[in-house]
Every structure is written in structure tokens, then in C-alpha cells.
Amino acid sequence: MTSAQENAGGSGGTGTVPPVLSFLPSGSWQVADAVDTVLLDFDQRHRRRCLLHTEAGQGVLLDLPVAVRLRQDDGLVLPDGGIVRVCARPEPLLQISAPDPRALMRVAWHLGNRHLPVQFSWPYIRIRADQVIADMVQGLGCEVRPIEAPFDPEAGAYAAGGHHHHDAHD
């Protein structure tokens, strides 16, 4: 047992937490084969090392060499071969729509200029709830609607293969 497993504690009174050996990208495995699920918001889905708690109350230790951007329906492979499904937790967002594509592009530029994570889903844009940004967007002539939904923003130009890796950030 590693010191990370000993320090993480465990469920079921054993004192050990199974480590995640690897992850499987969405579409590369059968979701119906999942033995459990972790429900994570956007920030919780970009990690290198942390203790995750499944819906069934089991602890699993994510301890990968680099931070990985986990997405809806990715799988976390356990030592016994079981796969824990990653589900994106709904969170407070703003859904932005515009009277025309040019207005939506203009808003997208302003959001990017502020380095905000943005989810593009034509004909709208989703961002995290932020009243200051909502006021700015409305001032640009667009509609803002508060919603609760999973947030899966664009990974960015430097992300590789749809899964974001940032060696400098844990």
C-alpha cells in the first residue's frame, strides 16, 4: 500500500482506497459496464491527484502523473478491472443567446478577452454564473438566462486530443 493510500483513509473500514490506474476516454468503453459513478463539477474534473467519492460511497484515489481533464462518460479504471463512470455535475451557468451570429461572436470575443472558460453550443454560449459578466453581455444586446447544467467548456488551443493536460498545475 502506498503512503497516499494510507493517508487517504478508506471506506468500509479497511483503511485502503483503490487507486485509479488509468482513465478511458468517453466512447472507448461501454458505460453500461460501469461499477459505480463519480459526480463532479468542472473544477473537480481537472485534477492530477485527489480522493474521489463515488455515488455508492466508495473512495477512489486519483493519482495520475499529470493532470487530466475528465469529461462526461470517461471511465476510471480500478485495480480489480472495474470502471467508475465520470458524470458532469450540473452547476449554475449563464446561457447566452444573441439576436444574430455577429452579436454572439462579439460576446465570445469579450469573454475570451477575459480568459473565461466558455462552452460553445450553437446557437448559444454557456459560462459560469457571474452577475458582472451577465450585465456586460446584456449591455452588448444579448440575452442571458440562468440555468443549472453540466459545464464542459472548450479545452483551448493547447489541449491535446480533447483531454486537457497541464503539467504545471495540480
Whether pLDDT at 165 is above 80: no
Sign of the CA dihedral running 87, 90, 94, 100: positive
DSSP state of 155: -
Reported as a single tens digit per residue, the pLDDT across 32-68 is: 999 999 999 999 998 889 999 999 999 999 998 888 8
pLDDT of residue 163: 44
pLDDT of residue 158: 65
**Distance in angstroms (rounded) separating the CA atoms of residues 118 and 129:** 11
C-alpha cell, 90: 450540473
**Distance in angstroms (rounded) separating the CA atoms of residues 25 and 86:** 10
| Rounded-to-5 percentages of helix, strand, coil across the chain | 20, 35, 45
pTM assigned to the model: 0.77
Cβ(76)–Cβ(33) below 8 Å: no
Q: Which range is least confidently modeled, 4-13, 99-108, 133-142?
A: 4-13
**Distance in angstroms (rounded) separating the CA atoms of residues 2 and 18:** 10
Q: Sorting pLDDT into bands at 50, 70 and 90, what band is 87?
A: very high
Q: Which domains does the chain have, with CATH numbers?
A: 3-88 (2.60.260.20), 91-149 (3.30.70.790)
Nearby residues of 165 by Cβ (< 8 Å), 6 or more positions away: 66, 67, 68, 69, 159
The pair phi, psi for residue 131, each rounded to 5°, is -65, -35
Reported as a single tens digit per residue, the pLDDT across 128-154 is: 999 999 999 999 999 999 999 999 999
Tell me which residue of 41, 46, 47, 33 sits closest to 75, measured CA to CA. 33
**Distance in angstroms (rounded) separating the CA atoms of residues 127 and 94:** 5
Whether pLDDT at 125 is above 90: yes
